[in-house]
């Protein structure tokens, strides 16, 4: 662990280390104690209700001895959310190799292409259904499901990997439970609350209860007597995509040095470290290590990439908006390293195992999404306005206080090691 106390910037290699820092930086007082007791009481009561409901709706014993023929796995999200689900999906496939596995993913309002790119080619499932909203909708006092979207699906076992229970949205969890029942599931796992939904005076203690998403499937699979397949590259391999990305890099650079990936964008601007600092990192890396810097991201992040390239002194290759997700995966597989914001690229790099420095804002606790991976260092800063939960924050003190030297020092530990 590295700490500059006057700026409260930290670099960590493990979830436990991050938790220790956050707990020590937030000593309990009367308000914290009351908020903590309230959440503990609420979560206990909510889980008792869910347990009783599950007992009524499903059989719930001897999961590990059952041989299921039709398994449905339900997820919510796009790239990162589905990447961190792959270890659970792989474990279920390996345990039930003859079962028909259907993955249903709810992308909500977001572009579903990222989820499709991750899940469609995956060998760990047989069928993929992509939704843009919750499959069960409330109409007055009634819950309704469009059965035409799920025709032909058998369901002996329903595995709920949705994050809503982890975020304290009990209404969504009940709808997920009814969805499993409407599909005809006999057994179901993954219906638990972790916290009360965020807001107001509870913000300061939420991080004590919210589970780390990349590791949360351990708890779900424990009900089946399984463990997720972690620290293994579970992403689809595509030689054609590898050839394509190498050709794109070659067109922009005639050199044959090792490649290094910089991903300066994210879903929200409140997750983005300043582009000029990414550019400074690109310049230092190119000068110190004789490597080609490749800037990645989606088309709407082109303005960020242009600022990175300009700040780098035009030493970086800008491929933002010019690669698909599979090409990004293949690029990360051959890269010497990666520096990225807290976004889907971070989870891809962590799973692949490329040395990665991940930069976190602290509008949410970094322990919520700290990735699983043996070659990841995470950087975050503790500021007075920590845990604001404002995805549209424009103040960004927690990111602006992270200096170029903080990130470059973490990168050097990777790049200078034999």
- Domain ranges for the chain, please list them: 30-222, 235-415
* Fold of the domain spanning 30-222: Rossmann fold (3.40.50)
Q: List, edge to edge, every strand of the sheet that includes 187-189.
A: 127-131, 100-106, 70-76, 157-160, 187-189
Provide the whole-model pTM.
0.93
> One digit per residue, pLDDT tens: the chain, 418 residues?
444 444 589 999 999 999 999 988 887 788 889 999 999 999 999 999 999 999 999 987 667 778 899 999 999 999 999 999 999 999 999 999 999 999 999 998 888 999 999 999 999 999 999 999 999 887 777 788 888 889 889 899 999 999 999 999 999 999 999 999 999 999 999 999 999 986 678 888 999 999 999 999 999 999 999 999 999 999 999 999 999 999 999 887 766 788 999 999 999 999 999 999 999 999 999 989 989 999 999 999 999 999 999 999 988 999 999 999 999 999 999 999 999 999 999 999 999 999 999 999 999 999 999 999 989 999 999 998 899 889 898 889 999 999 999 999 999 988 887 6
In whole angstroms, give the CA distance from residue 85 to residue 215.
9
* Fold of the domain spanning 235-415: Rossmann fold (3.40.50)
Would you give the end-to-end CA distance of the chain in angstroms? 20
Neighbours of 408 (CB within 10 A): 18
Cα 372 from chain centroid (whole Å): 10
Cβ atoms of 138 and 131 closer than 8 Å: no
Sign of CA dihedral 221, 225, 231, 234: negative
- In CATH terms, are 30-222 and 235-415 the same topology? yes
Token pair of 327 as six digits: 């090409």
């Amino acid at each position: 662990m590295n700490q500059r106390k006057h700026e409260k910037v930290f670099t960590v290699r493990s979830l436990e280390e991050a938790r220790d820092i956050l707990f020590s930086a937030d000593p309990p007082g009367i308000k914290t104690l009351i908020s903590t007791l309230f959440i503990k009481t609420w979560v206990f009561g909510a889980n008792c209700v869910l347990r009783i409901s599950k007992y009524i709706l499903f059989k719930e014993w001897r999961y590990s001895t059952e041989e299921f023929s039709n398994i449905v796995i339900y997820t919510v999200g796009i790239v990162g959310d589905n990447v961190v689900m792959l270890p659970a999906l792989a474990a279920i496939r390996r345990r039930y190799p003859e079962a028909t596995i259907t993955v249903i993913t709810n992308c909500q309002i977001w572009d579903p292409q990222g989820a499709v790119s991750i899940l469609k080619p995956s060998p760990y499932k047989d069928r993929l259904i992509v939704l843009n909203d919750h499959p069960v909708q409330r109409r007055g006092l009634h819950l309704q499901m469009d059965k035409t979207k799920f025709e032909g699906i058998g369901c002996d076992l329903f595995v709920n990997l949705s994050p809503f229970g982890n975020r304290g949205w009990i209404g969504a969890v009940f709808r997920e439970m009814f969805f499993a029942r409407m599909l005809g599931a006999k057994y179901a796992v993954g219906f638990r609350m972790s916290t009360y939904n965020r807001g107001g005076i509870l913000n300061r203690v939420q991080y004590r209860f919210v589970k780390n998403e990349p590791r949360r499937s351990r708890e779900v699979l424990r009900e089946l007597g399984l463990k997720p397949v972690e620290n293994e590259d579970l992403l689809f391999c595509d030689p054609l995509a590898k050839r394509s990305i190498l050709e794109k890099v070659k067109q922009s650079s005639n050199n044959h040095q090792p490649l290094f990936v910089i991903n300066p964008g994210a879903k929200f601007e409140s997750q983005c470290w300043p582009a000029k600092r990414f550019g400074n990192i690109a310049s230092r890396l190119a000068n110190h290590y004789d490597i080609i810097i490749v800037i990645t991201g989606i088309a709407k992040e082109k303005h960020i990439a242009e600022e990175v390239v300009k700040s780098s002194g035009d030493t970086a290759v800008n491929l933002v908006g010019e690669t698909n997700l599979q090409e990004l995966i293949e690029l990360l597989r051959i890269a010497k390293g990666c520096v990225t914001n807290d976004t889907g690229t971070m989870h891809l790099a962590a799973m692949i195992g490329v040395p990665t420095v991940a930069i976190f804002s602290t509008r949410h606790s970094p322990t919520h999404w700290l990735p699983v991976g043996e070659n990841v260092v995470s950087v975050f800063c503790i500021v007075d306005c920590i845990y604001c939960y404002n995805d549209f924050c424009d103040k960004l003190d927690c990111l602006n206080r992270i200096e170029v030297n903080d990130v470059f020092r973490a990168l050097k530990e990777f790049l200078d090691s034999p």
